[in-house]
Amino acid sequence: MTSKTRIQDAFSKGEGVLRFTPSWVPRPFNKPGMRLRLHPDDYYAFGLSHGAIVERWFSSTVSAVMGNNEGFGLSQVDTDGTTAGKVPFPEALVELGAALIGRELQQQYGTWPMFAKFYDYQGPLFHHLHHGEEAARLVGMNAKPEHYFFPVQYNNHVGDFPVTYFGFDPSVTKDEVLDCIRNFDHTDTRITRLSRAFRLELGTGWYTPPMVIHAPGSLLTYEPQWSSDISSVWENIVSGEVMKREFMVGHVPADKADNADYIFSLLDWEKNICADYRERYFRPPVSSSTSRTHQENWICYGNEYIGGKELTIHPGETYVSKERAAHGCVVVQGYGQFGAYRCEAANLLRFGQFSADEFFVSEDAAREGVTITNNAVYEPLVILKHFGPNCMAPKR
């Protein structure tokens, strides 16, 4: 059976909904928070040279920027529950096109333009930024707006440092930041001393635009974002771990890699020092709909790129979930029926094991409505949804 036939059969049997297999991503820095519901023996399943598994990607058409670019993070469609039946998500998009993602996204982007991830680090991440469109284009990549949400279900502990630094204090000067860039290879610059920190709150989130420097805290984070893995790291020593210079200039044109002024230009200075940062970018949940059967909140909103919702269906209830746009989903609590599929939140996955917690809903299926039933007696069925730019999320 060809990939095309497998995809068409799965799409038909799934009534416009596809199921994905888990897509794990290792990183050669920090330590795993071990909240991904992966078996403790499997966090180094890719080998020690790649580091521990610290991320799981959803609805992804892109690969993580890793060494030899071995395809980590690229989503695979589960067409029949067998390894031979896995089909890369980009192939499904080529085959199904607008039937999957809708005419609007197909015409504007030619593909699905975003993905989501869980990232799970025991310690804080380095102070870094993601390029704007112009700088990203110079290295053949996309800008990377991203949104954070901290799900209660995946945060049984808060890690070592549940605090995130965003931008710089308004009193900081450009020369102070430039000194940190120039001294990246020479001394511990302690760049976060120039920043400001916010303690993270479970069940809430933040929007982070491109060109804003940030050092994410140690909560497991659900992160809908644009399809890109571009970054520039400006913190050279993090909790005693030394960052190589390539982390700062790996996505900078070779002729600009030693140009501190160019690296500094990757910042949007005004956004980084604005005095009302929390007011602009903090995102508490906003109710979308509620009834006897369910509660749904917008959790990612207030930007023009990505959106996200948290849907809770009460025990023993059925709800028809309707949306205007295609979207990916991950079940984080409970079990039941998701359209034509049985669904269940992962509890303990072995590396390579299939799961029934990740789906992609086509635009037509979303508009017609997916019938979701919670088969539990007491436990809620909780599903996180991630959308592209046509989801009509609230402005603020």
Question: How many domains does the chain divide into?
Answer: 2
The reported pLDDT for the residue numbered 66 is 61
The answer on pLDDT for 67 being more than 70 is: no
- Indicate whether 141 belongs to any domain: yes
Q: Which residues contact 107 (CB under 8 A, 6 or more apart)?
A: 98
Q: What is the mean pLDDT of residues 281-310?
A: 97
Please indicate, yes or no, if residue 155 is contained in any of the structural domains: yes
What is the DSSP code string of 19-50?
Answer: EEE-EEEEESSS-B---S-B-GGGTTTT-GGG
Does residue 392 lie within any of the structural domains?
no
Q: Which residues contact 14 (CB under 8 A, 6 or more apart)?
A: 339, 340, 341
Q: Which of 367, 72, 129 is nearest to 263 (CA)?
A: 129
Q: Is the pLDDT of residue 391 over 60?
A: yes
Q: Is residue 394 part of a domain?
A: no
Note whether 279 and 306 are same-domain residues: no
Structure tokens, 103: 């005419």
Of 257, 283, 309, the position where a domain reaches its end is: 283
User: Are residues 329 and 244 part of one domain?
Assistant: no
Tell me the residue type at 208. Answer: T
Q: Over pLDDT 90: what percentage of the chain?
A: 95
Contact 156, 220 (CB under 8 A): no
Tell how strand 232-233 and strand 128-129 pair up: antiparallel
Q: How far apart, in whole angstroms, are the C-alpha atoms of residue 121 and residue 163?
A: 12
Beta pairing class for 163-166 and 214-215:
antiparallel
Domain end marker among 233, 259, 283? 283
Return the structure tokens found at 272: 């980084």
Kindly state whether residues 157 and 200 are assigned to the same domain: yes
360 shares a domain with 333: yes
**396 within some domain:** no
Residue 63, pLDDT score: 87
Q: Is residue 333 domain-shared with residue 262, that is, in the same domain?
A: no
| Boundary-marking domain end, from 283, 317, 351 | 283
Residue 395 lies in a domain: no
In this structure, is residue 326 part of a structural domain?
A: yes
Residues 175 and 203 in one domain: yes
pLDDT for 54: 97
Do 27 and 96 lie in one domain? The reply is yes
Q: Domain range spanning residue 183?
A: 3-283
| Residue of 280, 277, 273 whose CA lies nearest to 176 | 273
Nearest 5°: phi and psi at 349?
A: -100, 140
Domain co-membership, 217 together with 204: yes
Instruction: Return the pLDDT at 64.
Output: 87
Please compute the mean of the pLDDT values over residues 37-63 and round it to a whole number. Answer: 96
Residue in 42, 385, 29 with CA at minimum distance from that of residue 222: 385
- For residue 196, the model assigns a pLDDT of 97
Average pLDDT over residues 75-96: 96
Q: Check the CA dihedral 74-75-79-85 and report its sign.
A: positive
Model confidence, pTM: 0.96
pLDDT, mean over the chain: 96
Distances from the Cα of 324 to the Cα of 55, 184, 313, 387, angstroms: 29, 47, 20, 10
**pLDDT value of position 264:** 98
Q: Are both 185 and 317 inside the same structural domain?
A: no
CATH number reported for the structural domain that contains residue 379 in this entry: 2.60.120.10
Distance CA 285, CA 298 (A): 6
Whether residue 261 is found in the same domain as residue 342: no
Please tell me the distance from the alpha carbon of residue 132 to that of residue 143, in angstroms, as a whole number. 5
Check pLDDT > 90 for residue 118. yes
- Give the pLDDT band of residue 71 (cuts 50, 70, 90): confident
- Burial (CB count within 10 angstroms: exposed 0-12, middle 13-18, buried 19+), residue 257: middle
- Is residue 234 pLDDT above 60, yes or no? yes
Could you tell me if 171 and 200 lie in one domain? yes
Residue 300: φ, ψ to 5°: -130, 115
Token match 């479970």: residue?
Answer: 202
pLDDT tens column, 143-172: 999 999 999 999 999 999 999 999 999 999
Q: How many Å apart are CA 381 and CA 396, to the nearest integer?
A: 27
Q: What is the Cα–Cα distance from 263 to 12, expressed in whole angstroms?
A: 49
pLDDT of residue 69: 54
Averaged pLDDT for residues 340-359 = 97
What torsion, rounded to 10 degrees, do the Cα atoms 75, 79, 80, 85 define? -70
In a domain, 181, yes or no: yes
Share of the chain above pLDDT 70, in %: 99
Same domain, 219 and 334: no
pLDDT higher than 60, residue 68: no
